Chain A
Amino acid sequence: MDKELIVFLNEQAQSLEKSRIKAVNLNRIYSVVKPLRKLLKGILIVVAVLNCIIPILLPVTITIGIMFLLTLAMNDPKAVFESNLKDNFLPKIFEKTKPNLSYSSYGYNNKILKESEILNKGFFADTIEIEGEDYTKGKIENIDVEFFEIKFHKEVTNYTKTAGGCLLSLILIPIEIFKNIFDNDNQPDDVFAGVIKDINMFYSGFFMYADFNKNFTGKIMMIPKQNENLKDKVDEIFTPKSLTKISVENQNINDNYSIYTSDVQTGYYVLSQNLIDRINILSVKENALPIISFIEGKIYFLIPWKKNLFKADIYTKIENENYFLNYIEEINSFEEIVKNLNIDRRIWSKA
């Protein structure tokens, strides 16, 4: 590392250390507030139910409700510290180490995600929410690139809560009936009875977009067989075939992937034997099968992973510039992906 960078990182380290100490102190208070919050939530639910039978409990319900809301005002200091690192320190580090890349802590490029056509697959059909972070954009070796971490969420029936809700309804319905007999307002009250759904994350990964090193028209999709579901197979049989399925020379790839292309020769032109071998090596190294699409001269790459980029720990003391070495390595890993796939090799007609 050069001297100027070391001086800069040292300054950042001192500033971040102050932030870390503050977070550690707040975390001591939070370690009390968090269980208290759960306890108050439980008490509030019980008191709210009892309030339906014994209306005089209303002031108690309100008091507990206010106390619960006050505990919500305190955010997790660990998350705040990490957020501070990503919002205020990482962009400056990117500027110093990789001036061709810009960074923002949250966000993703929805337009590029749609262009990739990865979301059209049945596996992602139930997605109701997408969350992106560590959005990096710019140029690597004059190649346009974008990277971000991405999480897909879908609604899942929570059978425990649904059963609990039904049980509660069984208790409340007779009470309501009994109450309505003696109630003169003729207004029926609502008693909730139904399926309770939670929003859960079902896929977490790392997305990359880059300008591919060959000119081509059409599309090629490499879908891991584990990510193909019944909807895709039914679509393949019953919808007009705009894509042809092909096999490549690497048996491991053929066993794990279904490869579709709009034109067979274009498919083999894009998926050279060299590229196929590199994808195979990358999937073995990461122990994961990426979903890859090549569309109109661009590559879109989504690999599942549970890593958290630029993670921050409030218990790790920040003494000097060495604290940031891990982060610089992670920033360099973006370039590594481009080089590993050989996208920076520009020896064909596309400069």
Chain B
Amino acid sequence: MNKTTAFITLIILTIITLPIFFITIPVFISIYNGLVRKKNQVEYAFSGVDVELQKRGELIPNLVESVKKYMSFEQNTLKEIVELRSRITQINPGSAERFSLENNLTEQLKQVMVTIENYPDLKSNENMLHLQRSLNEAEEQISAARRAYNASVKTLNDSIQAFPSNLFASIYDFTIRPYFIAEQNSKSAPNLKGLFN
């Protein structure tokens, strides 16, 4: 619904309900405030995702240090992980490119975790075990943050599209937000070929 149509519809509604303005005015205020709260909730949830991604980023130097002595054949993968992390810290945190790089990083980390199975000494290393658990925890928290973000986006989008809150959404420029969806490459399973050689 465009802004003008929404404005006209709202005026008509106000005129029709004028005799009971003492009910309609608080309702209108409540609708507007509800939209504001939902928008803020989306932004808060988004920052939650950002925090968890940062926490994961902090684990990477430790991971690279632990594995590079053992995984001399996987140096390219490790180098790519370090480069990805470096690029992520330099770009705009809210940009689409950042999330694409984070997804790429997730894939690389998954591949490293699978490859570690080929190195029994590394697999049983105390520090490595602790690191694996921490990474699993970080991934789980990222997933939870994304789900929380998607839930808050759904609530906001429902309000933006449903009547009568869509009138206020159009007038005050509340826009539909996109969901977090998995990228195509992240939907594929990790490469396990190396495990069976």
Contacts and interface: CB of A to CB of B under 8 A. Distances in A.
Interface of A: 214, 246-247, 249, 264-269, 272, 347-349, 351
Contacts of A351: 133
A351 B136 CA distance: 12
Contacts of A349: 133-134, 136-137
A265 to B, nearest CB: 5
Contacts, number: 41
B45 interface: yes
B148 A268 contact: yes
Interface string B135-151: 01100110111011001
A349 B147 CA distance: 20
B129 to A, nearest CB: 9
A35 B148 CA distance: 63
Given A269-B140, A272-B140, A348-B140, A264 B133 contact: no
A348 B131 CA distance: 10
Interface of B: 45, 48, 132-134, 136-137, 140-141, 143-145, 147-148, 151-152
B137 A348 contact: yes
21 contacts: A249-B147, A264-B45, A264-B148, A264-B151, A265-B48, A265-B141, A266-B144, A267-B148, A269-B140, A269-B141, A272-B140, A272-B144, A347-B133, A347-B136, A348-B136, A348-B137, A348-B140, A349-B133, A349-B134, A349-B136, A351-B133
Residue of B136, B143, B147 ringed by the most chain A CB atoms within 10 A:
B147
A268 B133 contact: no
A77 B143 CA distance: 58
Interface of B is mostly: helix
Nearest to B133: A349
B151 A268 contact: yes
B151 A246 contact: yes
Contact of A348 (B133, B147, B148): B133
Contact of B144 (A247, A249, A269, A347): A269
B121 to A, nearest CB: 20
A25 B38 CA distance: 72
B156 to A, nearest CB: 14
A349 B138 CA distance: 9
Contacts of B147: 249, 268
A351 to B, nearest CB: 7
A265 B148 contact: yes
B64 to A, nearest CB: 20
List the 6 shortest-distance A-B pairs measured between CB atoms, nearest first: A269-B144, A268-B144, A268-B147, A349-B137, A348-B137, A265-B148
A110 B137 CA distance: 33
B138 to A, nearest CB: 9
Nearest to A349: B137
